[in-house]
Amino acid sequence: MGKVDDFEKFRKDINEKILQGENLDIKRFFALDSSVYQEGVLPARIKELMGLVASMVLRCDDCITYHILQAEKAGVTRKELEEAFSIALVVGGSIVIPHLRRAVALLEEIDL
């Protein structure tokens, strides 16, 4: 019912449509987009935080929401998230602030 559920439903529904399409390269890209966040020499939770920082400096709200939800599942703490936020803020500048605000509002919604 909340924004998180809306986000996840839309994401899931349209991803299905995309993956049922005929274009192979698009499907390969989606596979790759999962693969790089798998546990490796770097732990999956660190990779989610890297994806989060990248998404913040590139200012992609849906990507930020996704990586915060993934990071939460992987056991990331609020304090770790805030350190990631501070790096994104300094690298990306004040234009990151509106996205930080929406990220913090999401943390309230999911109680992290």
CB 99 within 8 A of CB 56: yes
Tokens of 25: 């390269």
Question: Which residues in 83-112 contact a second copy (CB under 8 A)?
Answer: 83-98, 100-101, 104-105, 108
The upper half-sphere exposure of residue 72, i.e. CA atoms within 13 Å in the direction of its Cβ, equals 15
Per CB under 8 A, the list member of 3, 11, 73, 109 interacting with a second copy is 11
CA distances from 88 to 5, 22, 33, 72, 83 (A): 26, 37, 21, 18, 9
Among 2, 26, 73, 109, binds a second copy (CB under 8 A): 26
The Cα-based distances of 85 to 13, 31, 40 in angstroms read: 29, 27, 23
Is 42 one of the binding residues for a second copy (CB under 8 A)? yes
Asked if 18 touches a second copy (CB under 8 A), the answer is yes
- Work out which of 60, 69, 74, 112 binds a second copy, going by CB under 8 A: 60
Is residue 61 a contact partner of residue 99, using CB atoms and an 8 Å limit?
A: yes
Of 37 and 68, which has the nearer Cβ to a second copy? Answer: 37
Supply the DSSP symbol for 111.
T
Cβ at position 74, least distance to a second copy in Å: 14
Task: Name the residues that contact a second copy, by CB under 8 A.
Answer: 10-11, 14-15, 17-18, 21-26, 28-30, 32-33, 35-37, 40-42, 46-47, 49-51, 53-55, 57-63, 77, 79-80, 82-98, 100-101, 104-105, 108
